[in-house]
Amino acid sequence: MTVDLLSLILLACTAGAGSGLLSRRLAETGGFSRLERNLARATLWAGWMIAAVLLAATAALLTGLPLVRPVGAAAASIIGWLAVRIRRLGWQGRPKPVDISAPRPDRSRRRLPAAFRFLVVGPVLLLHVFLACEAMTRPPAGFDGLHFHLPLVVRWVRDGQLSMVEGVWQFSLPGNGEVWMLLIAWLGVERLIELSMLPIGGLAGLLVFGIARELSASRPAALLAAVLALAGPMTAMQCYSSYVDCFGAAFILAGVYWTIRMHRGPAGATHMTACALPAGTAVGLAIGTKPSFVLWAGLVVVAMAAALVGRARREAAGGAPAARRQMACAVLAFTLAAGACCFYWPLRAAFHTGWPLYPIQLRVAGGTLGSGLPAERIVSDLGRQGWWSVCYPWVEWKRAGHQPARGEYAADNGLGPAFAAFAVPGALYLLLRRRLLRRPGDLATDRTVLGLMGAGGVLFVEACFSYGRYAMPLWMLALAACGPMLDMLVRLRPRSTLALACPAVVLSSAMMTLAPAVDLAGRLRDGDLGRSRFYGLPPIIERLEPGAVVLNLGDSTANYPLYGQRWTNRVIETPLAAHLGLKPPLTAAQIGAHGIDYVYIRDPSGPPFADDVAWEIAWDDRQDPARPPTTRPTVVYRLLRAGPGAPAGTGGMP
């Protein structure tokens, strides 16, 4: 534990120092402002941390040894830092000062009016303070997190490898988001895992601010846009959950930021590489998060290519020497950075299955390519939404949520009133402002953002099954695009804009906090902040002998809780059980083959065993009057090891 903590600190420090060196160098060549340098540094730092773990994981994959400890990641990080350090020694002094001749955003230090600070920024700040405190009083939550993200993290901690399970798509996907959680999970404190997403949410807010500034919004308006983005239920709640969509979306947004930043820059084209390096890092991180982000990353790559070509043409027309070489350098930097942050996942898939895109199967001209799983199996629980999806979020239909009976927002659902009020008018204003007002501002930046939003809308409907969660980059970009309109409204109609923004943000915050606040009040009233009560699990799950194998035949959301607080149990999760064909009636051969010690089941209609299995009941709360009426009855069976003369079915059923 001490070694792990020290090596984690070492990893964070060397990643910080390395990304600091790189971002300083990029700022010098690219003419970056302080905001841009900090954004580059944050992106490079996250990329460095993930790349160090992936490098150690590659060594583990190739040697078969459990090398993915924080120690291995720290060692990889130190090697990278030394490489950067040595390279820096070779640079001949500082580069020449750059000539910043292109239009830059408004540099005034004007602040947001006090009324906005108190009535719009204040509620959102309070909301995040509450959500952060609430997250620390409970173990991790959220359907996907409990179903497969967190079980995967626990498997990796235990195996010392970023392992996959062939045949189970949930455990075979790329997992940069899980690697990010793994960095905190190595500390062994489960209540801190979800807080690992908080810095990512902060980065997303900063990127919304940055994009709004690139669209020539003033500082107050850009700040307002960032606050509105962080007031969105899906974004705010994902900052404190084990979902990975916010992680991927933040880095897609970073890719967009560096793409549009490329349009504006000093003459001489040296800044192209400076922008391409953080852009590549961000795109690589997003691609390695989950397959749906590959589509979003594709949009960014197309926009980046267009920006590069346009920029190189302008440079060449202006007689700048070596524009072609600079473009090649930028492409190389982008590709290498992107590859470093996601190379492991196709390598692992190819190593285990021979098909680098596993579990994705490609269909080409009626035939299938690769050994992946059929798409129907992977998206079997996703049904395409109807026509109303284009009206999102005005209908906030809630059918995408997993708990339609409960009305509250959740990490996988909801954009909220602030988005509904400003997003569409903001996009419309961006479209019209040049024509109506002949406003200055970079035409290419406006076109890139509008083009990405249009293409993102098509992706949302066609490729994301119209599920709001899969289109988070689009929602954040739309709020960033509100910046210019908010700028105009805050300048010309401050009071009436406040009258719109304040109720929208306050209502959104209240809707988000109601359900967690009621749950927290209940737990505080009962004086029980333990995980058994939170998950509605039998307390014996926390007391099983270390290494006990538990088969989950209950809900998917019990997959992670069954590991126990200290992750001492071994769990056969629901998707793995389905893959292994473990379903009632379980035979003695199946139980012996998988070494099952306990079977967890909800709403049992009878013992899930064949006649040749010896079992007893370890927990049964069906007749327990103390069981809350909202908790479904649970039974835990203990399997008796077959010995000579051991009777079958000794427990019997009452």
Partner 1 sequence: MAATRLITIRLLASGMWLLSMASLVAWFLCSQALDSFVERCMRLGSRLAGAGT
- What are the residues binding partner 1 (CB under 8 A)? 391, 393-398, 406-409, 414, 416-417, 420-425, 428-429, 432-433, 436-437, 485, 488-489, 492-493, 496-497, 500, 503-504, 507, 510-511, 514-515, 518
Smallest gap from residue 440 Cβ to partner 1 (A): 13
- Residue 533 CB: number of other CB atoms within 10 A? 16
Smallest gap from residue 394 Cβ to partner 1 (A): 5
10 Å CB burial of residue 192 (0-12, 13-18, 19+) is: middle
Smallest gap from residue 488 Cβ to partner 1 (A): 5
- Residue 263 CB: number of other CB atoms within 10 A? 22
Residue 442, CB-side half-sphere exposure with 13 Å CA sphere: 25
Smallest gap from residue 508 Cβ to partner 1 (A): 10
Of 406 and 543, the one with the shorter C-beta distance to partner 1 is: 406
| Cα separation, 69 vs 157, whole angstroms | 8
Contact (CB, 8 A) for 193 and 140: yes
Of 136 and 432, the one with the shorter C-beta distance to partner 1 is: 432
Of 514 and 593, the one with the shorter C-beta distance to partner 1 is: 514
Of 303 and 485, the one with the shorter C-beta distance to partner 1 is: 485
Peptide bond into 359 cis (omega under 30): yes
Smallest gap from residue 60 Cβ to partner 1 (A): 45
For residues 537, 148, 190, 157, the Cα torsion angle rounded to the nearest 10 degrees is 120
| Cα separation, 218 vs 230, whole angstroms | 19
Smallest gap from residue 592 Cβ to partner 1 (A): 49
Of 81 and 409, the one with the shorter C-beta distance to partner 1 is: 409
Smallest gap from residue 142 Cβ to partner 1 (A): 18
Smallest gap from residue 519 Cβ to partner 1 (A): 12
Q: Smallest Cα–Cα separation from 401: which of 465, 469, 312?
A: 469
| Cα separation, 533 vs 236, whole angstroms | 25
Of 193 and 490, the one with the shorter C-beta distance to partner 1 is: 490
| Cα separation, 614 vs 640, whole angstroms | 5
Of 30 and 484, the one with the shorter C-beta distance to partner 1 is: 484
Contact (CB, 8 A) for 638 and 597: yes
Question: Checking phi first, is residue 126 left (phi over 0); if not, alpha (psi -120 to 50) or beta?
Answer: alpha
Contact (CB, 8 A) for 243 and 146: no
Smallest gap from residue 385 Cβ to partner 1 (A): 14
Smallest gap from residue 336 Cβ to partner 1 (A): 43
* Helix 198-214 / helix 245-263 crossing angle, nearest 10 deg: 30
Of 330 and 480, the one with the shorter C-beta distance to partner 1 is: 480
Of 175 and 426, the one with the shorter C-beta distance to partner 1 is: 426
Of 65 and 432, the one with the shorter C-beta distance to partner 1 is: 432
Contact (CB, 8 A) for 74 and 14: yes
Smallest gap from residue 522 Cβ to partner 1 (A): 11
Of 35 and 515, the one with the shorter C-beta distance to partner 1 is: 515
Radius of gyration, CA atoms only, the chain: 26
Q: Smallest Cα–Cα separation from 415: which of 235, 631, 651?
A: 235
Contacts of 495 (CB under 8 A, 6+ apart): none
**Both tokens assigned to 196:** 């690992």
| Cα separation, 478 vs 475, whole angstroms | 5
